[in-house]
Chain A
Amino acid sequence: MSTESGRVPLAVLCAVLLALLVLAVGVSMMLGRGAGGALWDLVALWRSDPETARLILQEVRLPRTLLGVLVGATLGLCGAALQGLLRNPLAEPGILGASSGAALGAVVVFYFGMASAGAWLVPVGGVIGSAVALAVLYLLAGRRPELLTIILAGVAINAFAGAMTSLALNFAPSPYAIMEIIFWMLGSLADRSLLQVQLALPLMLAGGLLIATAARGLDALTLGTDAARSLGFSPTAVQLRVIAGTALAVGAAVAVTGVVGFVGLVVPHLLRPLVGYRPARLLLPSALAGAVLLLAADVLIRSLPPGPELKLGVVTAMLGAPFFLFLILRSRRQTW
């Protein structure tokens, strides 16, 4: 007797997603802009100047690819976890304010011109920002957080972080600083280094692990908080783990790539027809699919004709926002 709702066995789906991810990583490593952009250019460069070719692969494309995988997986995983926690398919990592908090933290670094002191200061500012946003969220929501309070606190934090970011732009010391802030806020994987990977990876892993320990609790919450508690799960502990895990992972992601929206919203939705609705079952496929989707979007950007590079955050927003609108329209007609 099968009791699982997915039309595709989970192992098969994950294997397919993993294969797609390997393919996307391969394409991402082979494709670039500028010197050695296309595969044949790279091969030619490898023959004439192997040192430069190695440098391009190792210092430019490897960090970009790794960050694409990590950030995509983070956004997909956190989106699925938050939708499970809030029992609302319209939830998104940005809802907690962790993203905007991280963005504000990084903007503060730009504003005070500290970015020139060291690239590592930007991620540090971002992580501090997301941590502060989390702390404020926890103070606002209290020791026994109600979901509505969490959502409203997230709205308030988003609004405040947005206002502070605008203030920084308003009083920016130079046009150059404004440009730096705006470009960073658009969200991109370009011009990142392995340093950023090293800074983000431990935080993302810690966040992902926290969320994984809450997976069964998310399933139990399907039956409501009282039934979940009667099954031996503390809803407060589940909330705390998902929220802290999301803040850590998404905070780190935003800090290194800027704001890349809607991945966490879109990915679980695309997977539900294949995986089913059980929240825990959705987590791993969402992480894999998030990585594939983000890397594919970045490859698409890099394969466009030369000119000013289209920012990744712009692409995800252009694709994600209409999808969000479509979901709202659909949810007005049906419950799920």
Chain B
Amino acid sequence: MLLEARKLTVRLGAREVLHETTLACPAGRVVGLIGPNGAGKTTLLRALAGLVPCGGEVRLAGRALASTPPRTRARLLAYLPQGHVAHWPLPAGELVMLGRLPHRRFGAPPTDADRAAVARALEMADVAAFSTRRVDRLSGGERARVLLARALAVEAPILLVDEPTASLDPYHQLHIMEVLRDYARGERLVIAVLHDLSLAARFCDDLLLLTEGRLLAQGPPREVLADERLATAFKVTALRGDDGDAHWLVPGSRID
């Protein structure tokens, strides 16, 4: 297993936001992390990335996260927070180069390997055309893909992304999901927090369904997105269909 978590528990003050969550994800897959607002999706993702103090244990490629030095961890695991954050208006290429920091030595300029990795990431996210443009002058969709390219440029075996498709139009949502699928193809694991159930059903190999800090279900989308689970977790019904290989669903109506 590329990424394992055993009895992960996270407390914020007195409140337990994640309760004894255990999961295991193999390489080569895109795993969707779904659940209603406040279910603890971001908390779980941050705990897996070692960004929040937690009980239990996380193992990356067999080694315990807690005892992995930060630099080694940074090469094993890339994390893209939500919100498309860039505090300075760097050109896209320079921003993506920040993803190479875990591989670069102190004070050393980027190596050919770094440049090649940045070029691959820009290419994969389809943003190579505006690598010299400032991120503040890009559209929302372009900016989202540049920041995704920054995480891709780490070339880590594990990629955790938090709501990568939020606030994007359908074209750009599909674009991002295709990039994530591409990335997972080469023995890598992608875990993505997703709000859009139809995207989750279409693009993920496995889903993790989280409600109130507990893992309600994990497995292939068809199983996890069963009617009774949607009713319990989201309090909605689903409209479903099959289009050849693709299984799709859209929210139907609220259940009160």
Show the binding face of A for B, using Cβ within 8 Å. 1-5, 87, 213, 216, 219-224, 226-227, 229-234, 276-279, 335-336
30 A-B interface contacts by CB (under 8 A):
A1-B93, A1-B115, A1-B131, A3-B91, A5-B90, A216-B101, A216-B104, A216-B106, A221-B87, A222-B88, A222-B95, A223-B85, A223-B98, A224-B81, A226-B46, A227-B79, A227-B81, A227-B150, A229-B50, A229-B51, A230-B49, A230-B74, A231-B99, A231-B101, A232-B70, A276-B91, A278-B88, A278-B90, A279-B88, A336-B88
- Let me know if B89 is at the binding interface, CB within 8 A: yes
A227 touches B101 (CB 8 A): no
- Let me know if B178 is at the binding interface, CB within 8 A: no
B119 touches A1 (CB 8 A): yes
In the bound complex, CA of A122 to CA of B81 (Å):
49
From B46, B86, B88, residue with most partner A Cβ within 10 Å? B88
Write out the residue numbers on chain A whose beta carbons fall within 8 Å of the beta carbon of B97.
3
In the bound complex, CA of A279 to CA of B102 (Å):
17
- Let me know if B144 is at the binding interface, CB within 8 A: no
B64 to nearest A CB, angstroms?
Answer: 17
How large, as a class, is the contact surface on chain B?
Answer: 35 or more
B207 to nearest A CB, angstroms?
Answer: 23
Write out the residue numbers on chain B whose beta carbons fall within 8 Å of the beta carbon of A216.
101, 104, 106
Write out the residue numbers on chain B whose beta carbons fall within 8 Å of the beta carbon of A221.
87
B237 to nearest A CB, angstroms?
Answer: 35
In the bound complex, CA of A170 to CA of B170 (Å):
68
B74 touches A231 (CB 8 A): yes
In the bound complex, CA of A223 to CA of B135 (Å):
12
B77 to nearest A CB, angstroms?
Answer: 7
Q: Which of B49, B78, B90 contacts A277 (CB 8 A)?
A: B90
Write out the residue numbers on chain A whose beta carbons fall within 8 Å of the beta carbon of B51.
226, 229-230
In the bound complex, CA of A279 to CA of B106 (Å):
15
B135 to nearest A CB, angstroms?
Answer: 10
Write out the residue numbers on chain A whose beta carbons fall within 8 Å of the beta carbon of B46.
226
- Let me know if B96 is at the binding interface, CB within 8 A: yes
In the bound complex, CA of A221 to CA of B94 (Å):
14
Show the binding face of B for A, using Cβ within 8 Å. 46, 49-51, 70-71, 73-75, 77-81, 83, 85-91, 93-99, 101-102, 104, 106, 110, 115, 118-119, 131-132, 134, 136, 147, 150, 154
B73 touches A3 (CB 8 A): no
Interface of A is mostly: loop
B150 touches A223 (CB 8 A): yes
B89 touches A336 (CB 8 A): yes
Write out the residue numbers on chain A whose beta carbons fall within 8 Å of the beta carbon of B77.
230
B98 touches A231 (CB 8 A): yes
A232 touches B71 (CB 8 A): yes
B33 to nearest A CB, angstroms?
Answer: 16
Q: Which of B71, B93, B95, B136 contacts A336 (CB 8 A)?
A: B136
Residues A222 and B70 in contact in the complex (CB < 8 Å), given A1-B131, A3-B131, A227-B85: no
Question: Of all chain B residues, which has the CB nearest A227?
Answer: B81
B48 to nearest A CB, angstroms?
Answer: 11
A224 to nearest B CB, angstroms?
Answer: 4
Write out the residue numbers on chain A whose beta carbons fall within 8 Å of the beta carbon of B99.
231
B146 to nearest A CB, angstroms?
Answer: 11
Question: Of all chain B residues, which has the CB nearest A232?
Answer: B74
A3 touches B49 (CB 8 A): no
In the bound complex, CA of A230 to CA of B115 (Å):
20
B90 touches A276 (CB 8 A): yes
In the bound complex, CA of A102 to CA of B38 (Å):
47
B154 to nearest A CB, angstroms?
Answer: 8
A278 touches B79 (CB 8 A): no
A291 to nearest B CB, angstroms?
Answer: 21
In the bound complex, CA of A2 to CA of B90 (Å):
13
Write out the residue numbers on chain A whose beta carbons fall within 8 Å of the beta carbon of B80.
227
Write out the residue numbers on chain B whose beta carbons fall within 8 Å of the beta carbon of A277.
88-90
Write out the residue numbers on chain B whose beta carbons fall within 8 Å of the beta carbon of A226.
46, 49, 51, 79, 81
Write out the residue numbers on chain A whose beta carbons fall within 8 Å of the beta carbon of B85.
223-224, 227
**Closest 3 interchain pairs by CB?**
A232-B74, A230-B79, A3-B93
Write out the residue numbers on chain B whose beta carbons fall within 8 Å of the beta carbon of A230.
49, 51, 74, 77-79
B70 touches A2 (CB 8 A): no
In the bound complex, CA of A276 to CA of B90 (Å):
7
B73 touches A219 (CB 8 A): no
Write out the residue numbers on chain B whose beta carbons fall within 8 Å of the beta carbon of A335.
89, 136
